[in-house]
Chain A
Amino acid sequence: MSGELLLEVRNLAVEFPTQDGIVHAVSGLTFSLRRGETLGIVGESGSGKSVTNLAILGLLNSERSKITGEILLHGQDLLKASPSQLRDVRGKDVAMIFQDPFACLHPMYRVGDQIAEAVRAHIDVSKSRASERAVEVLDAVGIPNARQRAKDYPHQFSGGMRQRAMIAMALVHNPDVLIADEPTTALDVTVQAQILELIDKVKRDFDIGVILVTHDLGVVAETAQTVMVMYAGRAVEHGPAREVFDAPQHPYTWGLVQSMPSIEAKVAQLRAIEGSPPSVIHLPSGCAFHPRCPHRFDTCLKVRPPLEHLEGGHADACHLDATSKRRLWEEREAARLGIGA
């Protein structure tokens, strides 16, 4: 990736003390985002994807969470920023869109007014100028007849249009970073593709960096240049998207890739990952994935594997050596596709 470095997260950890114990939502997370790049963060529910994003935006309740590490935006550490500095960043430098566009717009205000409000949150312009800007961005995200539709209430919009409106709202200040937290999960399949295309388009048109959070590898495969796979609050695999899809290194990623439907693989050939995500309060010893891993051995139960870098910026956290990984992956693929059977 060649673009300007926008965001750098170093060794981020987020803990929530609860009555049952400390929830380790995110641990030792390091990644960066450049202009023009889409970073796909993939993982199951509870893997810490959303918490990471809320931490970047400073939207976690500081009284109920403990955040350590560094979140550098243009070199400035957001974790050391004051609440008012953070408020200045939110919506202006870093904008976010969420999973459920049905619930994310205020039901009692007109769509255009809500976008205009976002304009006026950061720059001192007249209401009519802000409304003009709202119409501009609504038009830019492909809302037909934007001037008229800006006067509608959210319930008069379809799900896809609401997500477009959310994207429009995120774009009013030409932010550097757009965080999209499962932006297509709540939408129809046909609309999903349109929204992904739109996110890709605004990334190019507005020249920004995008963090795309999803549990759907297919979504990432289509749009991301870099992929980070998270499990139980940690990155287990991280690298260029092509590498991660063509030569996945971590058994968890294998599971994700092989549970992804495709034209070639029939439903019977889909492989589920056995078991369920671990409790984030009582994490398994050693490698957090070991209870569900078919290839575990003794070390996995005792020692947590570090994220080790391979050539080409690809990194993974697994105790298996490179040769075994290649062999196991090829065996799994062969078994799945029925080759040699």
Chain B
Amino acid sequence: MVVYILRRLLWAVVVLLAVTLITFFIFYKLPPGDPALRFVGKQPTTESIALVRHNLGLDQPFYVQYGKFLKAIVLGDKYGWPGLGYSYDSSVPIRDKIIEKAPRTLSLIVGASILWLGLGVLVGVISAIKRRTAVDRIAMGFALFGISAPVFWLGLMALFIFWYKLSLTAGTGYTPITESPTQWASHLILPWIVLALLYAAIYARMVRGNLLDAMGEDYIRTARAKGLSERTVIFHHGLRASLAPIVTMFGLDIALLVGGAVITETVFNLDGLGFMAVDSVFRQDLPATLGVVLVATFAVVFMNLVVDILYAFLDPRVRYG
């Protein structure tokens, strides 16, 4: 197991290297714009552009720039460790920017994921038990709505109704939990629900399908033949068997949202990592993009590892050598 984890961690480093290299390459080779032009001010001269290019290191060959980028990550730079450089756009260290924005995204993910896991499993189980009844149809109708409704529309409708009309929640924006927990929650409750609705719908359908599959297995008949109560049969035997794939998906979904909750973060003006990623691409702010990509990639690679390790505990047939 330890050897397995070490090997996986080594692979994680390779993946991170590959992802940053590709991002770097795309940024440098493909877009027509010159990052230095943004930096240089309103009336650039050829000299000032050249100076900025030199200061940013843009006049150096591709591999030197990438080398410096890697060196800063490993050894740190003047802003601390890991060194991620500073933004072309606002001259703020990327490291500080990410530290500022990460809690916003994490707050969103933690709240939403708890909601959607609970809701998804609950609705899925009820739907499976009450299969082909009105309850099942209503639940699956809700799931279809959740999957089909676009997040930007749901978000705007939620804001319109609960904030603008009913004033039940705070509006857009973000208040750190350290400042005011109630304001923090009040700002986040709508994005939690909107984001959770989409995922809860997907999870409900998956839990329903997996549970129905499991309930058709021979070991369920054995459990019934033992004289166990139907509740024990469903939860202890059926749900247990359908848990592993759900845990897998849960881990990966969380990881993908680290840099991927773009629409939710935009609609609710949460200004987290996802928003930063898109924004920095539009501004050709390479260091910022690279920073977010690095964090998001790390999240995916890390959660993959966590999921695989969890899997070994959830399913005794899985053993890693």
Interface residues of A, Cβ cutoff 8 Å to B: 57, 59, 87-92, 95-96, 98, 100, 103-109, 117-118, 121-122, 153, 155, 166, 169
Contact = CB atoms under 8 A, between A and B. Distances in A.
Contacts of A106: 219, 222-223, 237, 240-241
Interface string B310-321: 000011110000
A278 to B, nearest CB: 27
Query: For chain B, what secondary structure do more than half of its interface residues adopt (helix, strand, loop), or is it mixed?
Result: helix
Contact of B241 (A57, A59, A95, A107): A107
Nearest to B225: A96
Contacts of B315: 107-108
A91 B224 CA distance: 9
Interface stretch (B6-14, B37-45, B226-234, B260-268): B226-234
Contacts of A107: 219, 241, 315-317
Nearest to A105: B219
A155 B318 CA distance: 10
Contact of A166 (B222, B224, B227, B240): B222
Given A57-B225, A90-B226, A155-B316, 15 more contacts: A59-B225, A90-B225, A91-B228, A96-B225, A98-B225, A103-B219, A104-B219, A105-B219, A106-B222, A106-B223, A106-B237, A107-B219, A108-B240, A108-B314, A117-B226
Contact of A122 (B218, B223, B227, B314): B227
A87 B317 contact: no
B34 interface: no
B136 to A, nearest CB: 14
Nearest to B315: A108
Contacts of B224: 59, 90
A121 B233 CA distance: 11
Contacts of A96: 225
Nearest to A122: B227
B221 A104 contact: yes
B217 interface: yes
A59 B227 contact: no
A87 B227 contact: yes
A178 to B, nearest CB: 11
A90 B223 CA distance: 10
Contacts of A117: 226, 228, 236
Nearest to A90: B227
A59 to B, nearest CB: 6
Count chain A CB atoms within 10 A of each CB in B217, B228, B240 and give the residue with the most: B228
Interface residues of B, number: 21
Given A90-B226, A108-B315, A169-B226, A98 B218 contact: yes
Contacts, number: 68
A91 B317 CA distance: 27
Nearest to B228: A121
A118 B233 CA distance: 12
Contacts of B222: 98, 104-106, 166, 169
B316 A59 contact: no
B218 A91 contact: no
Contacts of A108: 240-241, 314-316
A155 B236 CA distance: 19
Contacts of A89: 227
A104 B317 contact: no
A118 B241 CA distance: 18
Contacts of A88: 227
19 contacts: A57-B225, A59-B221, A87-B229, A89-B227, A90-B224, A98-B221, A100-B218, A103-B218, A104-B221, A106-B219, A106-B237, A108-B241, A109-B240, A117-B226, A121-B226, A121-B227, A121-B232, A155-B317, A166-B222
A104 B218 contact: yes
Interface string B42-62: 000000000000000000000
Contacts of B217: 103
B239 to A, nearest CB: 11
Contacts of A105: 219, 222
Interface in B230-264: 232, 236-237, 240-241
A107 B315 CA distance: 8
Contacts of A95: 225
Contacts of B218: 98, 100, 103-104
A309 to B, nearest CB: 33
A208 B191 CA distance: 63
A91 B227 contact: yes
A98 B219 CA distance: 10
Contact of B226 (A100, A118, A153, A155): A118
